[in-house]
Structure 1
Amino acid sequence: MRAVQAIKKMVALGVGLTMVGATVFGASAASLADYPAPFVVNGTPASNLAVVVGAQADGSDVVGAVDIIQSLQAQAVVTTAAAGAPSQLVVEGDAVEIGSTSDLLEISEPIGDVRETLTEVDLDMLRGGQIVTDEGSTEFNQYLRFALPGSETTGAAGSLNSSAVVFAEDERDRVGHYLHWEDGRLLFTWELEFEEGLESEVDANGDLVDLEDEDLTILGQPFVIVDTDMVIAGFGTTTNGTTLTSGGNAGTTTDLVIQLIGGAVSAVLGENDKETYVVDGKEYEVEVLVISETSQGGEGSVKFRINGEITDELADGETDVLADGTQIGIRDILATGKDIQKSIVQFYLGAYKVEFRDTNASDQLATVAGAEVNEESIEDSFVVIRGLFTQNARIATSLAGAQFEVQNIRYNLTADAVLGDMFVPPGTGVREHLDEPEGMLTPNWDIRYEGLMDTGVTLVRLDAAGDDEYDLEFTNQEGIFYDFPLASAESGAIGVTAGAGNAVNSLKYGDDDDDLWFTEFNNTFAAPFTTTQSVLRQNQYYITDDDFFVLSNCDVGQDVAGAADNTCFSHVMRYDSFDSTNRQLTFTDLGTGTREVTYDSTTTVADLVVGGVTYRVGVNTTTGNLTADLNGDGDLGGLRGNRTAVVIGIQGEGILNLGVQLNPLLVLNGAGTSGVSYPSFNATGSENISANLLDTWPTGSFNLSLLTLTKEFDEATVNENISINITARTGNEIGIGGVTMTSGGFFSGLLDLEENDNIEQGLSGYGVFFELFDPEGDTEAEDLTIEYPLSQRGARVFVTGGVVTTSAVETGAGQRVQPIQIGAARLDSEVSDVKQFNAIVIGGPCANTVAASLLGSAAEPCHESVAPNKAMLKLFEHTNGNVALLINGRTAQLTRMGARSVATGGLGNVQGMEAEVSGTTFNDVQVRAV
């Protein structure tokens, strides 16, 4: 039904993309239960709302009309997200977010551009400490670094980029937003720094004896150094008569290995002791079977029985893996070999072993695959251990007695996912996507992506009206929703197939019958307008009856792409009628309702106040056509010698640039000049100025641009400009030729969804989300839905240590009243055709002529149109999609009772299009469907 179709056009502002196409009535017929729709839908009053009472009505009818308007105004409220953050992500535990309110992590921005280095100030897992050895003491610090593009090298893989959140297609062809690294690019750098240097004596075997059994913490995990090993290549040999020493002669390299063990449970048992421990909720019975004091060169070894399973013989620093994957690792063995003193072993259950190796600790180059975790080589690791000898005998051939100082350990890990590039979807972390998750060094920390910021959005839609027209839907910065015809390629539309010189594949602004104007042309009148209409030629009055035009006070100048101001009120108007007798012009604001203004008899100019801004309109009193000050600067013409096009400011401070219109030039007999928009002449020579062609004639396409200014970004040097190409196609069809970026930073382009080949999606750097719906095998034009964020969408990336929980918390919302415009209340004498309104008609046919026209013959005799002691509520549908609700009582008091029942929600459960109201007072009103 057309009434239902009219209501379907009114789409809620906040509806998500999964709800695009949802309707108020769905597939069912109109019903009284849907009140206040279609008079108020989703908090927005209908633009053609009328509440009609009879000119000679009783006072009770008037009071009933007041009740109705008050009830509609109470419903005309839209909910708006709290500024900048309709919900907040709460992360509990040891965690730090990369971005902040003062420095947003933008889409496509590298992590290191926002936080290059994390320390213990940011994360407890990076806490430092102190190590005291026989050679001295030193403070140690930990750092976690994310490199800027090109700023970090690994010594093997060259210059590596840090990470960024992008919108892309992952390795499994799934489209979405991800925290992304290219394969082989740097994930992070972890550094352990020893402020005063970690010194140790070196024994004859190359062990740094003072380091062994020292405790330190790495990325939140306690470890102990269980073994070290130094080998100097060529040490003690003679080259060209020179004995190579540890002093660093040419040809020597210091190959250094440092092994560490930590674990969930640290315990000490004696030989033949037995104890039960719990790891990750599972019990383990551990028994020490034997401790040998003679094995391993006198260092000793140990064997365990754990839950019945016997381990390998283990020495200091060695580990064994149980059947369930749990590791046991040895920290220290004290094998006495004496009856009076039991041998003991200190061990870790749930052990975690890390080994760092630098094949030349005397240089700054990294050793590829220089780390092992739990006996597994980390192929994508790069290790640098910086150290030097502080004391040594240069002629000695033994390391014994030398002293070596470790200054720092630096560990780089590069991206290596199972399928190639790493794509981390929202709600997951880097660890689970690594081919070697052990490369994170310890098991309890991660780099997590929790999605894009929830900023709230406003919708912009290019809604296909069949296969030859587009409507444009948006919400302005006042929160008012608009839906108007943007472009048409319909066969027979003036300016498309009519007139010589027009190409069949041309487009026009507006629909097939009426034009859309958003450009002031270079007239001769500047503000203040005092010259009479005789100065203007007829074609300079280009707005004709039923044309649409845009009023907008956005001050962007002629260079829209380089605009610097985006705060403005934009309204789309329709020119309805010209009354020369009363000097009255009637307009409809498509978002708020009807406006009437009176023009000056001398200047033929009127002031039209919309959104608090005064726009001047001039009328040609011969033709009734208009010229208008579209940008509110008081000048009825464009800039001298130029055209002044206005743009639309949308909710969220975005700007819509509708394209370019050329002058409606006076061209005789339709002999047009290519590339211009022109009026044609008919046979009698009178001007027809409704041919509003596009600037791109005859190619038949134009670009609708969505602009976000640099000032709306956290960091940007140029405006973001996304261009949507609307094109004419063979057979007078219309469609979207492409969505591209003409300036700005990141734009993914439109990507095909693997799971639904009818949909393409894309995302810009500001966070503007695009979804193109193009059903295969359908001749309908594509639909484009745009989610424009109310503020820039940042990326939520966290570094977490230990157990961390996340949750979304609503921060509240505000409400904005959408005023019912003055003039919505009308007398019946002011309504010549009720079908042009979504009308609520108060009073019966005896008191209201509009009610009589709705009821027709059923209104004779008028006082019997409703049963005694009753009021009737009846919904009428018109073929043009508008509806009328009649509230008709047998008496004026019953009419008021019927209006009160509607105003107080009495229709909520009334299905169908007609109901009966009965009762003796306002307190016992009953409403039932008939």
Structure 2
Amino acid sequence: MKIKKLVAGSLATLATGATLAFGAFGTTTLNQGLQPYVQVDVAGNTLSQPAIVVGDNALVQDVLGAIDIATALTSQYAVQEKVIPSTAGVTSVSNGVLISSDLNKLYLGTAMNAVKDTITGTDLDLFANQQFTDKNAQTITYQQALNLSSQTVTFGTTTEFTEPKLYTTFSSSKPYYVKFYFLGGLDTNAVDSNYKITLLGKEYTFGPNTGTAVGGAPEIELYSATGTQTVTVTAGGDPVTVTIDGVEHTIEMIGWDTSTTPYGAILKIDGQATTPSAWQEEKTYTFPGTSTKVYVNDVTVINTPSASGGAGQTGSAQLFIGTDKLVFKNGEAVEKNDEQLTNTMVYITNSTSTKITSLVVKIAPDTDTYLADGGEYVDPVFGAFKFKLNGMTPGMTDSSRDVIKVAKDGTNKVKLTFTNKDGTEYAFDMFYYDSSAGAWERTYDGTHEVWIQEGNETSGAYNITRGDYFVVSDEKKTYVLKYAGLTTTSGKEHVTLQDIATGTNYDVYYKTDSYLRIGALAFKVKYQSADQSILVDLNGDGAINRTTVNMYTQGEAIIGAATMAAINVTENPLYTVGNDPTGTTINMLASYASNDVSFSLSGVTTSQIGTQNKYAGVTTYGTYVEHDTDSDSITVYYPGTRPAYVNLAVGADPVFSTTGATTGGTYKEAVPIYNPVAKFASEIPSTPTQDLILVGGPCANTLVKSILNEAWNTTDSCEYWRSDATLGQAGAGLLKVVENVLGSTHKALIVAGYSGDDTRTLAQKIMKPDTFAALSGDEWKGQVNSL
């Protein structure tokens, strides 16, 4: 007996670490397997159902069979599924840098220079310090920097696009600055066209006018060498072939013009004369049929003796094809390719009449220019860097976001849909318009309430009646339940509360343990016998005192519905740091007219999506909202406990990528079970208080004998078994479901064999779900090895 008790008691240990799940079933049949018998109290680490019962004098084989059943029960069927939410990941940029800092992100409506004022070589190699050696063998180190403007990113439409989207405006009134600091000074007398300098990753040749005094400071004239083709043509010589944008062209020099200063070269391009016919030295022209610029660097005419002894002339020209000419004069606009760039300004500081210590270029477009999501804005002066806008992190409809939907249901109801912390989606009608009363009600069908406010424990008022819904919320976990049933049988008094999404039933035995327990949460329940209603502590603080509760989404957005016909979503950051937005409240108010429900929306500015009856907007926190006035619905995409930020980058050609993003899924979570689940038949009360799995036949288990006596309408089911044509043979076994066992509301599954070895073999067989799946009805008997 000691051995039997020790082994049987170890069944509870086998259950330890299992996750127990259960569902609602009607009449139980064999093909449902072991699952209908399982119920767990997760908070109490208790396996409430079933008890696994062997006879008081059970054979060791029966006990081993019970252990096998317990193993199958806990490992295969007692499983609670948990949801793993999606995560948005982190956006990074190559060949550029995000406009952000350690503490500050670029949120909607936040000025760029409030997030990061200056881009330097520490941030981006393009702006790294450089060195230049002049003709005097002096090496000058110079620093490069970009001071960002105060422009912001917003969401909406402009004159250039009618679909609302993220965009930023490069405004004529909000310039940015490109700065160069020459440590020790750059001597303009010590450079010429044979010297090149690298600015922002592009190589430039100094022009002949560098050093000319303008506005109290030396002028700087540069010609870009990066990507430039240098071509020399000679009068009377062979045409020169160049390739521009993949197309070959010919250039030939047919003469020169010495009547102008400086001289001009008379050219033909692709056999056609240029306009003007002579291209002057030190001027820039556009290559015919393209947008490519050509700078005439030099036109040379040389007197040469002729063969007859007289004088002659030859001419040549050097062309920079694809170059940009930049001229910086203190106090004036930038000149690019002989044209002034409106709304730019040059500031040059100098230590002597020829030595420059800094060059600062203010840059802004002459008219507002929009950079829309997915687009780019190229710096108009140097063309060495660009701004790119690439959505938000997380994306506005990314799967990692919470989705909260408020929509009409039918003609007079308001439906709320959201997902709670556990990953369970609730979708239910929150408000109902009673047209006969001309008023909104917080009911889901015009009769049954949806309770978000506690009753009054003292007066017993505002109580929950059968069929009503109610919301419980504690520690940011929300559940929506229904008062589904009541049992008043003496000694078994309990109310049944059902999760409206999962169908999980929670039996609250209000006379012995008056708490609704969900996981680690406990909510007090008070039964009102006068009208069979209940009062529930909705926020889990132990008191029932008219407190109104909110609902929490998986990402901890707060949903409120305290005002009739109104649902609001409050952004709820886990913490704030730097320039983080603190969040706002999005308000959705239902109205009823002409047998229809519609909504008004506030707390977020929206723009119409093209010509559709749809509107979209984004809060500064990054919550994206769509309002469909045709279907009368509002969908909120909430980023979670941290605000969504804008992906705006600057660099030579920024490329965005996201790392660390995960797709949501599910996992099975183990719950330690600390209560014993194995019992002897003598330990079961005459009217069972829980479901039973009974191991051993009527000759080995007295409880089985009592149950089968009643089921088979006999006084001795042990003798009945022995005389049965099927069961009375070696190797036989029985599986039988009994409802309302011994007058209780519980059920039992009998697992029995002709001998102890047969019982053990049958227990091993039913460990496999496929064994049950092949059965039907409430009884099977036959040879156990046939299963």
**Same fold, TM-score > 0.5, yes or no:** yes
Identify the residue that residue 854 of structure 1 maps to in structure 2.
Answer: none
1:739 has 2:601 as partner: yes
269 and 175 in structure 1: CA distance in 2 versus 1, 3 angstrom threshold: closer
Identify the residue that residue 615 of structure 2 maps to in structure 1.
Answer: 760
Identify the residue that residue 377 of structure 1 maps to in structure 2.
Answer: 340
SS in structure 1 at match of 2:506: strand
- Tell me, yes or no, if the aligned pair for 1:461 and 1:472 is still in contact at 8 Å: yes
Identify the residue that residue 412 of structure 1 maps to in structure 2.
Answer: 362
For residue 452 of structure 1, report the CA deviation from its aligned partner.
1.4
Please point out which of 613, 620, 627 is paired with 1:772: 627
1:518 has 2:455 as partner: no
- Tell me, yes or no, if the aligned pair for 1:605 and 1:619 is still in contact at 8 Å: no
- Tell me, yes or no, if the aligned pair for 1:739 and 1:750 is still in contact at 8 Å: no
Identify the residue that residue 479 of structure 2 maps to in structure 1.
Answer: 571
Asked which structure has the greater CA Rg, the reply is 2
Unaligned runs of 5+ in 1: 1-46, 148-161, 202-208, 234-252, 361-366, 391-402, 432-438, 498-503, 524-535, 555-567, 661-693, 695-700, 742-746, 823-828, 832-848, 850-891, 905-924, 926-930
164 and 317 in structure 1: CA distance in 2 versus 1, 3 angstrom threshold: same
Identify the residue that residue 162 of structure 2 maps to in structure 1.
Answer: 174
Please point out which of 424, 429, 448 is paired with 1:485: 429
For residue 425 of structure 1, report the CA deviation from its aligned partner.
2.0
Identify the residue that residue 526 of structure 1 maps to in structure 2.
Answer: none
Identify the residue that residue 329 of structure 1 maps to in structure 2.
Answer: 295
Q: Deviations over 1:385-427 (max 9, x none)?
A: 323473xxxxxxxxxxxx432232222222455xxx4332221
Identify the residue that residue 460 of structure 1 maps to in structure 2.
Answer: 404
Q: Deviations over 1:721-742 (max 9, x none)?
A: 2232424435675432x3223x
Please point out which of 78, 81, 86 is paired with 2:86: 81
Which residue identity does 2:328 align to in structure 1? F
For residue 796 of structure 1, report the CA deviation from its aligned partner.
0.9
Q: Report matched runs for 1:158-173 at 5 Å.
A: 162-172=150-160
Please point out which of 374, 382, 385 is paired with 1:427: 374
Identify the residue that residue 787 of structure 1 maps to in structure 2.
Answer: 637
Greater displacement, 462-471 / 334-343: 334-343
Please point out which of 388, 402, 411 is paired with 1:448: 388
Structure having greater relative contact order (Cα 8 Å, sep ≥ 6)? 2
If the length of structure 2 is used for normalisation, what is the TM-score?
0.68
712 and 179 in structure 1: CA distance in 2 versus 1, 3 angstrom threshold: farther
Q: Report matched runs for 1:348-359 at 5 Å.
A: 348-358=320-330
1:222 has 2:203 as partner: yes
Once residues 218 and 466 of structure 1 are traced to their aligned partners in structure 2, the CA distance between those partners, rounded to angstroms, is: 66
1:720 has 2:725 as partner: no
Please point out which of 50, 68, 75 is paired with 2:24: 50
Once residues 75 and 317 of structure 2 are traced to their aligned partners in structure 1, the CA distance between those partners, rounded to angstroms, is: 84
587 and 820 in structure 1: CA distance in 2 versus 1, 3 angstrom threshold: farther
Once residues 168 and 388 of structure 1 are traced to their aligned partners in structure 2, the CA distance between those partners, rounded to angstroms, is: 46
172 and 331 in structure 1: CA distance in 2 versus 1, 3 angstrom threshold: closer
Once residues 270 and 814 of structure 1 are traced to their aligned partners in structure 2, the CA distance between those partners, rounded to angstroms, is: 66
Please point out which of 438, 452, 460 is paired with 1:538: 460
Q: Deviations over 1:72-120 (max 9, x none)?
A: 99996756323x42xx65654x322213675322122222222221123
Identify the residue that residue 33 of structure 2 maps to in structure 1.
Answer: 62
Once residues 615 and 100 of structure 2 are traced to their aligned partners in structure 1, the CA distance between those partners, rounded to angstroms, is: 29
Once residues 101 and 73 of structure 1 are traced to their aligned partners in structure 2, the CA distance between those partners, rounded to angstroms, is: 46
For residue 549 of structure 1, report the CA deviation from its aligned partner.
1.1
Identical columns (%): 19
Please point out which of 418, 437, 442 is paired with 1:508: 442
- Tell me, yes or no, if the aligned pair for 1:580 and 1:621 is still in contact at 8 Å: no
SS in structure 1 at match of 2:172: coil
For residue 466 of structure 1, report the CA deviation from its aligned partner.
1.8
For residue 710 of structure 1, report the CA deviation from its aligned partner.
4.4
Which residue identity does 2:499 align to in structure 1? D
Q: Deviations over 1:584-605 (max 9, x none)?
A: 110111233232334343xx86
Unaligned runs of 5+ in 2: 1-20, 38-71, 307-312, 674-688, 692-710, 712-761, 775-786
Please point out which of 124, 131, 134 is paired with 1:132: 134
761 and 200 in structure 1: CA distance in 2 versus 1, 3 angstrom threshold: closer
- Tell me, yes or no, if the aligned pair for 1:68 and 1:899 is still in contact at 8 Å: no
Q: Report matched runs for 1:606-625 at 5 Å.
A: 606-625=514-533
Which residue identity does 2:357 align to in structure 1? Q
- Tell me, yes or no, if the aligned pair for 1:191 and 1:410 is still in contact at 8 Å: yes
Once residues 172 and 208 of structure 2 are traced to their aligned partners in structure 1, the CA distance between those partners, rounded to angstroms, is: 31
631 and 611 in structure 1: CA distance in 2 versus 1, 3 angstrom threshold: same
Once residues 479 and 315 of structure 1 are traced to their aligned partners in structure 2, the CA distance between those partners, rounded to angstroms, is: 74
1:751 has 2:607 as partner: yes
Q: Deviations over 1:817-839 (max 9, x none)?
A: 478999xxxxxx999xxxxxxxx
Q: Deviations over 1:747-781 (max 9, x none)?
A: 4x122222312x11111112111111112xxxx7x
Q: Report matched runs for 1:12-411 at 5 Å.
A: 50-52=24-26, 54=28, 62=33, 80-82=85-87, 84-85=88-89, 91-92=93-94, 94-99=95-100, 103-127=104-128, 128-134=130-136, 137-147=139-149, 162-172=150-160, 174-181=162-169, 183-201=171-189, 210=191, 214-228=195-209, 254=216, 257-263=219-225, 264-267=227-230, 269=232, 271=234, 272=237, 275-287=240-252, 301-311=264-274, 312-325=277-290, 326-332=292-298, 337=303, 346-358=318-330, 360=331, 367=332, 370-379=333-342, 381-388=343-350, 390=352, 403-411=353-361
- Tell me, yes or no, if the aligned pair for 1:574 and 1:590 is still in contact at 8 Å: yes
For residue 628 of structure 1, report the CA deviation from its aligned partner.
1.3
SS in structure 2 at match of 1:644: coil
Which residue identity does 1:423 align to in structure 2? Y
- Tell me, yes or no, if the aligned pair for 2:32 and 2:773 is still in contact at 8 Å: no
SS in structure 2 at match of 1:112: helix
Q: Deviations over 1:213-263 (max 9, x none)?
A: 542233332222214278879xxxxxxxxxxxxxxxxxxx53865332225
71 and 590 in structure 1: CA distance in 2 versus 1, 3 angstrom threshold: farther
Q: Report matched runs for 1:546-695 at 5 Å.
A: 546-554=467-475, 568-581=476-489, 582-601=492-511, 606-634=514-542, 636-638=543-545, 643-659=546-562, 694=564
Once residues 554 and 305 of structure 2 are traced to their aligned partners in structure 1, the CA distance between those partners, rounded to angstroms, is: 85
Identify the residue that residue 686 of structure 2 maps to in structure 1.
Answer: none
Which residue identity does 1:447 align to in structure 2? F
577 and 52 in structure 1: CA distance in 2 versus 1, 3 angstrom threshold: closer
Q: Deviations over 1:237-290 (max 9, x none)?
A: xxxxxxxxxxxxxxxx53865332225234363633654443443334444556
- Tell me, yes or no, if the aligned pair for 1:53 and 1:65 is still in contact at 8 Å: no
Which residue identity does 1:799 align to in structure 2? V
61 and 74 in structure 1: CA distance in 2 versus 1, 3 angstrom threshold: closer
For residue 608 of structure 1, report the CA deviation from its aligned partner.
0.8
- Tell me, yes or no, if the aligned pair for 1:752 and 1:760 is still in contact at 8 Å: yes
Q: Deviations over 1:456-487 (max 9, x none)?
A: 21211112112321121110111111112211
389 and 446 in structure 1: CA distance in 2 versus 1, 3 angstrom threshold: closer
- Tell me, yes or no, if the aligned pair for 1:138 and 1:195 is still in contact at 8 Å: yes
- Tell me, yes or no, if the aligned pair for 2:559 and 2:570 is still in contact at 8 Å: yes
Which residue identity does 1:585 align to in structure 2? V
- Tell me, yes or no, if the aligned pair for 2:255 and 2:315 is still in contact at 8 Å: no
